[in-house]
């Protein structure tokens, strides 16, 4: 039985919360501006609690089990983060309060800026971007502003490897550039000859995810950066996969000019069923004046007795604001808590064990699944969810069958350069026992695919709903459960 919608549960006259009786004189809004109908549902508090409790039970989550969704870094979300982000002093502060009254907030932001700089090897950081894609947009706009400032306006192209997330080409367009695809070579690296051929005086820059979406470290990274720099372009690092590099290498020291960081992946802030994230952007010194407005800085140095006075400033050549206020502060507090609890060695261990877990699983699974790029991976790896002898079985079938075993499927059909891709990222917070169980299930499914393929085709069998008709959803659009004229 499906859970009714909030409108189906509504009973006229029911109320969920009472507000105080007005203690001031009654005032009336002019009639021409007054709303006649307010078509909202009417429920008791218990109705609401039960409804959303029922809905929550229809979800799979990290708290329930293994979530090896490649490129999403579904690591454990420490509960202390939820407590610190809700400390009343943080939660009830207004973004326009005078700076003297919000020094605690500004200290949190300043510390995280400093620590992210240290971790990534860059000169300056802005915490304003709201998500990874938003950080990418900031990176693209910084590239644009940098070339424009130098009156080098013929640079209209951004190079994007064929393994890139869809956001990279979309970002390039949004930032006013034309994306140019660069192919990968047989080892999963950028094809250097093609790169050299494509780099010229029109190149604004390169967007490089490293480790890339195959989970492989770009072996020629220094050469790639040199080629782009020699052509006068900038190198943008997509930090989606930074988890593999914490304390292992600092992208800023290798010559990346810009990097965005996903606090909701690498720094354990929860994914929230799809947000809120946070996508800080780090840059080298020559780009720091272009960062979005605002960044936190020290206005007056402190002393032994007095802390410094922090403030919000707009960088000199800033690309401007990319959202209201100062960034996803609640997410920033969670990330700061995580860095505080890990320290340098803890963060280095994050990368080491994330990579160990991925290689361990890859070693077991490549016996039953095709591994197109067979070399030491970083935090994730990509298998083919298809067998030559079984043309009717697809990666989607493997993914759906995993649900029957109570496991979240890997990312499927991405990256595009692997056919029927299954992209697996275990993260460092999963134990050997969990990995062994996942491996056992994956091998079992490979066996089922050969012996009883119907089990895969018809999967999932044990979920709240079966495979859903996506064609119907897009054809007979129903995007709203109730509208007044239908009543």
Partner 1 sequence: MFIPHTDSERQEMLKCIGKDSLESLFSDIPEKYRFPKLDLPPALSEMEALQELTELASANNSCDELICFLGAGSYNHYIPAAVDMLLRRGDFFTAYTPYQPEISQGTLQAVFEFQSLIANLTGMEVSNASHYDGATACAEACLSAYHHFRGKRNKFIISPSLHPHYCDTIRTYLGALDGIQIMDKSESIQQVNPQFLAEQIDENTALVIVQYPDFLGRVVDFTSFGKTVHEAGSLFAVAVNPIALGLLKPPSEFDADFVVGEGQPLGIPMSFGGPYLGFFATKSELIRKISGRIVGETVDGKGNRGYVLTLTAREQHIRREKATSNICTNQGLMALAATIYMSLLGKSGLRKVAELCYQKAHYASEQIAKISGFKIRKEWIFFNEFVVECPENPKTINDFLLHEGVLGGLDLGDYYPEMKNCILFAVTEKNTKEDIDILTELLEEAVANG
Length of the chain: 487
Query: Which of 319, 445, 449, 456 forms a contact with partner 1 (CB under 8 A)?
Result: 319
Q: Is 206 helix (H, G, I), strand (E, B) or coil?
A: strand
Question: In the window 406-465, what residues touch partner 1 (CB under 8 A)?
Answer: 408-409, 411, 414, 428-432, 460, 463-465
Secondary structure (DSSP) of 206-265: EEEESS-TTS---TTHHHHHHHHHHTT-EEEEEETTGGGTTTT--HHHHT-SEEEE-HHH
Pick the binder of partner 1 from 155, 157, 326, 394 (CB under 8 A). 326
- Round to whole Å and give the CA distance between 346 and 336: 14
The answer to the question of residue 397 lying near partner 1 (CB under 8 A) is no
- How many residues at the interface with partner 1, by CB under 8 A? 202
Looking at 112, 124, 125, 133, which residue binds partner 1 (CB under 8 A)? Answer: 133
**DSSP state at residue 48:** H
Helix (H/G/I), strand (E/B), else coil: 299: strand
**Which of 181, 177, 167 has the alpha carbon at shortest distance from 140?**
177
Binding residue for partner 1 (CB under 8 A) from 142, 175, 235, 296? 175
Choice between 63 and 201, CB closer to partner 1: 63
Q: CB of residue 20 vs partner 1: minimum separation in angstroms?
A: 8
Q: Which secondary structure element, helix H or strand E, spans residue 172, and what is its range? A: helix 167-174
In the bound complex, what is the minimum distance in angstroms from residue 75's beta carbon to partner 1?
A: 7
Distance (Å, whole) CA 385 – CA 399: 8
The binder of partner 1 chosen from 329, 373, 405, 438 (CB under 8 A): 329
Q: Does 215 bind partner 1 (CB under 8 A)?
A: no
Determine if 19 is a binding residue for partner 1 (CB under 8 A): yes
User: What is the CB neighbour count within 10 angstroms for residue 385?
Assistant: 29
Q: What is the DSSP string of 312-373?
A: EE--TT----SSSTTS-HHHHHHHHHHHHHHHHHHHHHHHHHHHHHHHHHHHHHTTTSB-SS
Whole-angstrom Cα distance, residue 51 to residue 53? 5
Measured on CA atoms in the order 251, 136, 414, 225, is the torsion positive or negative? negative
> Is 78 one of the binding residues for partner 1 (CB under 8 A)?
yes
Q: How far is the CB of 208 from partner 1 (least distance, A)?
A: 15
Under rule CB under 8 A, residue 306 binds partner 1: no
Is position 166 an interface residue for partner 1 (rule: CB under 8 A)?
yes
Span near partner 1 by CB under 8 A; candidates 134-142, 200-208, 229-237, 418-426: 134-142
- Show the binding pattern over residues 261-300: x = contacts partner 1 (CB under 8 A), - = does not: -------x-xxxxxxxxx-------------xx-------
Select 33 or 388, whichever has its Cβ closest to partner 1.
Answer: 33
411-412, strands of its sheet edge to edge: 381-384, 421-424, 411-412
Q: Helix (H, G, I), strand (E, B), or coil: what is residue 100? A: helix
* Tokens, residue 306: 């007095």
Q: Tell me: does residue 239 bind partner 1 (CB under 8 A).
A: no
302 binds partner 1 (CB under 8 A): no
Cβ distance 182 to 159 under 8 Å?
A: yes
- The residue range among 8-16, 198-206, 281-289, 418-426 that interacts with partner 1, by the rule CB under 8 A, is 8-16
- The reply to whether 80 sits near partner 1 by the rule CB under 8 A is yes
d(CA 210, CA 413): 20
Interface residues for partner 1 in 181-200 (CB under 8 A)? none
Angle at 259 between CA 382 and CA 229, to 5 degrees: 100
What would the x/- binding string for partner 1 be over residues 48 to 67, using CB under 8 A? xx-xxx-xxxxxxxxxx--x
- Interaction between residue 120 and partner 1 (CB under 8 A): no
Of 191-199, 201-209, 228-236, 327-335, the window that binds partner 1 (rule: CB under 8 A) is 327-335
Cβ proximity to partner 1, 155 vs 400, nearer residue? 400
């Amino acid at each position: 039985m499906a859970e009714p919608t909030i409108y189906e549960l509504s009973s006229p006259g029911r109320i969920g919360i009472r507000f105080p009786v007005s203690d001031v004189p009654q005032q009336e809004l002019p009639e021409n501006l007054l709303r006649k109908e307010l078509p909202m549902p009417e429920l008791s508090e218990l109705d609401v609690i039960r409804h959303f409790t029922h809905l929550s039970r229809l979800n799979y989550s990290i708290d329930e089990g293994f979530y090896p969704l490649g490129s999403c870094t579904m690591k454990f979300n420490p509960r202390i983060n939820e407590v610190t982000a809700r400390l009343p002093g943080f939660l009830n502060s207004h973004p326009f309060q005078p700076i003297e009254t919000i020094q605690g907030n500004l200290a949190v932001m300043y510390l995280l800026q400093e620590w992210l700089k240290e971790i990534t090897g860059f000169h300056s950081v802005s915490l304003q971007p709201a998500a990874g894609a938003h950080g990418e947009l900031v990176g693209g706009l910084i590239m644009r502003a940098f070339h424009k400032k130098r009156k080098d306006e013929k640079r209209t192209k951004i190079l994007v490897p064929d393994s890139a997330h869809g956001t990279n080409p979309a970002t390039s367009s949004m930032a006013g550039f034309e994306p140019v695809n660069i192919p990968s070579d047989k080892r999963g690296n950028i094809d250097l000859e093609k790169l050299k051929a494509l780099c010229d005086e029109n190149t604004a820059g390169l967007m490089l995810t490293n480790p890339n979406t195959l989970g492989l470290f770009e072996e020629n990274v220094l050469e790639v950066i040199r080629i782009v720099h020699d052509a006068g372009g900038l190198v943008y690092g997509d930090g989606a996969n930074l988890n593999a590099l914490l304390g292992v290498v600092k992208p800023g020291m290798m010559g990346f000019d810009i990097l965005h960081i996903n606090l909701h992946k690498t720094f354990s802030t929860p994914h929230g069923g799809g947000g809120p994230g946070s996508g800080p952007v780090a840059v080298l010194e020559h780009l720091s004046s272009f960062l979005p407005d605002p960044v936190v800085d020290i206005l007056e140095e402190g002393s032994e007795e007095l802390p410094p006075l922090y403030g919000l400033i707009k960088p000199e050549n800033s690309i401007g604001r990319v959202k209201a206020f100062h960034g996803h502060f609640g997410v920033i507090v969670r990330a700061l808590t995580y860095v505080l609890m890990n320290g340098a060695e803890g963060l280095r261990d994050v990368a080491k064990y994330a990579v160990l877990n991925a290689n361990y699983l890859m070693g077991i699974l490549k016996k039953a699944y095709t591994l197109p790029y067979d070399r030491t991976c970083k935090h994730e790896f990509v298998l083919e969810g298809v067998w030559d002898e079984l043309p009717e079985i697809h990666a989607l079938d493997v993914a759906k069958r995993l649900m029957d075993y109570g496991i979240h499927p890997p990312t499927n059909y991405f990256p595009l350069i692997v056919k029927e891709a299954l992209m697996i990222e275990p993260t460092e917070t999963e134990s050997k026992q969990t990995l062994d169980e996942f491996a056992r299930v994956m091998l079992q499914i490979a066996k089922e695919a050969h012996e009883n393929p119907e089990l895969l085709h018809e999967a999932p069998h044990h979920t709240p709903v079966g495979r859903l008709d996506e064609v119907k959803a897009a054809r007979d659009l129903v995007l709203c459960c109730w509208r007044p004229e239908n009543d």
